[in-house]
């Protein structure tokens, strides 16, 4: 067994950690923001038919995790640049704080995932590896 230089091992460990940290940052640069309103029947329908957990587990959710915000609440600092939201639900695809696309309303499960896939295609560097197949 040979001698392993501890400084070299530490350098490799740090380099690996930095690489993995940068990779996770770039993967999570996009998110889908759902503007919700208490008492909104279409929001309730979306939550009943899809829901946050199921969306985030789908390939689309891994590409752009969902954040749900009340439309009447103040916007978080990273979403101040998003234009006016009137109707609910409104789904806004955001990448690095910039609005990429939006969908107003909930058109049903099948159309929702199709539209989200089209929205994700607009992301910079989109690899188009997401495809949730919805069978009724």
- So what's the pLDDT on residue 28? 47
Q: Which residue has the higher pLDDT, 4 or 33?
A: 33
Q: Are 40 and 100 in contact (CB under 8 A)?
A: no
User: Quick check: bond before 89 cis, omega within 30?
Assistant: yes
Percent of the chain's residues with pLDDT above 90: 54
Q: Helices (DSSP H) in 28-69: which residue ranges?
A: 41-49, 52-57, 59-63
- Average pLDDT on 92-108 reads 93
- So what's the pLDDT on residue 135? 46
Q: pLDDT at residue 36 above 90?
A: yes
The model's pTM: 0.73
Query: How do residues 41-91 score in pLDDT, each as one tens digit?
Result: 999 999 999 999 999 999 999 999 999 999 999 889 888 888 888 899 999
């Amino acid at each position: 067994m040979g001698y392993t230089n501890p400084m070299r091992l530490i350098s490799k460990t740090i380099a690996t950690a930095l690489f993995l940290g940068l990779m996770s940052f770039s993967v999570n640069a996009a998110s889908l923001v759902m503007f919700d309103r208490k008492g909104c029947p279409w929001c309730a329908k979306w939550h009943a038919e899809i829901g946050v957990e199921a969306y985030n587990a789908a390939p689309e959710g891994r590409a752009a995790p969902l954040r749900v915000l009340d439309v009447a609440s103040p916007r978080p600092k990273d979403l101040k640049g998003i234009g006016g939201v009137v109707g609910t639900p409104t789904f806004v695809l955001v990448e690095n704080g910039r609005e990429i696309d939006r969908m107003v309303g909930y058109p049903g499960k099948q159309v929702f995932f199709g539209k989200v896939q089209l929205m994700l295609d607009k992301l910079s560097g989109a690899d188009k590896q997401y495809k949730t197949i919805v069978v009724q």
